[in-house]
Structure 1
Amino acid sequence: MGEVRGDPRDGQQQRSHWSASRRAQAWSALLAGLIRCKRCGRKLTLRYSGMKHHIPRYSCSRAWMDNGGPHCIAFGGLRVDDAIEEALLSVVGPGAIAAATAAAKEAGERRDQVRDALSRDLEAARYAADRAFRQYDAADPANRLVASELEARWNRALAHAAEVEDKIAMHDAATPAPIADPASLGVLASNLKTAWDAPTTDARLKKRIVRTLVHEVVADIDDAASEIVLIVHWVGGVHSEIRLPKRRRGQRNSTSANIIEAVRRLVLIASDDLIAGLLNRNGLETGNGNRWTRERVTSLRSNYRIPVFKPAEDGIEHWLNLSNAAKLLKIAPKTLRLAAEAGEIEAIHPLSDGPWIFARSSLITTAARSIAERARQNPRYPTGSNPNQQSLFSSTT
């Protein structure tokens, strides 16, 4: 029997898919290629952990990779990236705005000083050209050697004057950078944090901003204090130190049990991205006081063995949000929500400002059919609470 060979293009496609995946991962780490080990001076390498391998971790493993030497330092990347983000956003503050305005004003003053210096050079060049002409004009034409030398000096003086005039013309033609209004800069500074925290902001744009302001980050670990020590070398020569607590081996995550339970319920209908947005919308924070991101939700699920949300292959979901459940019963979402609030139908509501979750099995019960039938008989008023009663929950998703 002949040997069965696979299509070589399959391997190429797999390698291409792997490369694209690694490139996408590389953009998620804020300090990739920018952070250096204080102990050995080498750049920290970046690797990823978690079930989907997209939670960054910085480690100084180059000595081990090259020569089999020991590892210097290693720590999680989420907390470090957040600290750099906070430090960077604090740079664009009232003090930085005042400094930017002062720098723009100083640049304008330097421009005026350059213009004055060029004007003085032009005055001196014209005087030298005029003096050379007078010397040439006073020379005896019969002495051709002297007259030729004086004429050459005069031509050189005229060329120098023309060169200075060209410099002045180029200086005047260059459009100076306008001085921004401090109020406008303040609005931009306040909008920067909103744009930075938005889930739609491209990680590549964040890294460009970081590399514009940060020259390098030198990292070390204070074993006695169990802290990560970061020395940030800002562009311009200013340095600042950031100390972050390092989680000790065996230390448990301090995330609230209520948040863990909410995530356990939300994975029934929501992806990690959506869960992070819901937790932030409810003002909930991680155990370390940070905002939620997709990576943190993934890490939380991994630590507590919470399965990831996976759409049903046959398209028949066992758990539905409010909109899809109402569509299945052919009633208005508000009708179903009020019925759930009144306890007439079983539902899960893990967050006060979050989605309602319904099991498909609860939507085919006698109670569900009764709610739908009453709604069809009296469509002007929703089933459940009195229509004039105000609801504490604004979410209908």
Structure 2
Amino acid sequence: MEQQLIDLVRDIYATNEFIPLHAPIFTGNERVYLNDTIESTFVSSVGKFVDQFERQIQSYTGAGRAVATVNGTAALHTALYLADVQPGELVLTQALTFVATCNALHHLGAKPVFIDIEHGSFGLCPIAAETWLTENAQLNDQGQCIHKESGVAIKAILPMHTFGHPAQLDELQALAQRWNLCLIEDAAESLGSFYKGRHTGVIGRFAALSFNGNKVITTGGGGMLLCREDNDAKRAKHVTTTAKLPHPYEFYHDEPGFNYRMPNLNAALGCAQLEKITKILASKRCIASRYEAFFAGRDYRFINEPVYARSNYWLNAVYCPSADSRNQLLEMTNQQGIMTRPVWQLMHRLPMFANELRGDLTQSELAEAHLVNLPSSAIVQA
């Protein structure tokens, strides 16, 4: 099976050279817009492409507002900051996620509570979250959600759309409302993914997108904070621009802020990339369908989009029948120049998060032992 898969991947990408997991594609106006930016001399966070990229992402996703940042972690950090997550307070999130999710919490001094995933989307399971809250939390007289044992506030719930597959957002939003929590979507991987017809990132109060070099579209390094409310977006733009008040020449900052604005160079790249997102997504769906057909009837389960969603198939994944078969697949493909990767190590296995609160993580641990990500670069011609 492994050799047949290797042959399939080489056929998809029509090469005998090394095949990466997810490579960027520069077949459009990238050079034109970058040269425009250089000639303008506005290469930092002031420039026409920053505003243009924000407007285009806002329009594409249907978000209330979009605020460009230097990376996805900065967008997520800002979202948590605006949700008033304080040092020592708790946020429910996934153990199966990229470390940036938890790093954003760490930057605020907040603490993650690791909740299991559900097996369909591999996103945060609303049933597991409800179970943990019922057993460990209560609403105080002011309606604030607190941890029973410690009395520490629980402020938010932070699902991540794993590999671009939307989590169960209706159920998570209902859960957040019952427990007076802020729903913040880590949508770093899900540009181009839709939940029941709505783009991910527009259901929670905030969401964070990433445009890292390995994402569906890239700005080199960059992110975007999506806000549902206009007032949140105005404050986001203020605090990410060092909280500087407008003035013709004085420098006055009215609160601690972040130097998080996306440079114009990066935004220019993003504007060019976004022009071909429809072709990119179509290519990725075609590649996913070939993987799905290959694994049909085998003991390996291709990770398909949830029934309620249309996924971007950012990273294709297969659930292997055993840990041994997973390891064999990883070893054979990588030995032959096909980059495959296991899912991230679970967050509670990392030394800095080993002692955090967590619920039962059975599904997360199974995914860690069985999942393999497959080459997923789109193929788009100039």
User: Smaller-chain TM-score range?
Assistant: under 0.3
TM-score by length of 2: 0.27
TM-score by length of 1: 0.26
Q: Which has the larger radius of gyration?
A: 1
More helix by share: 1
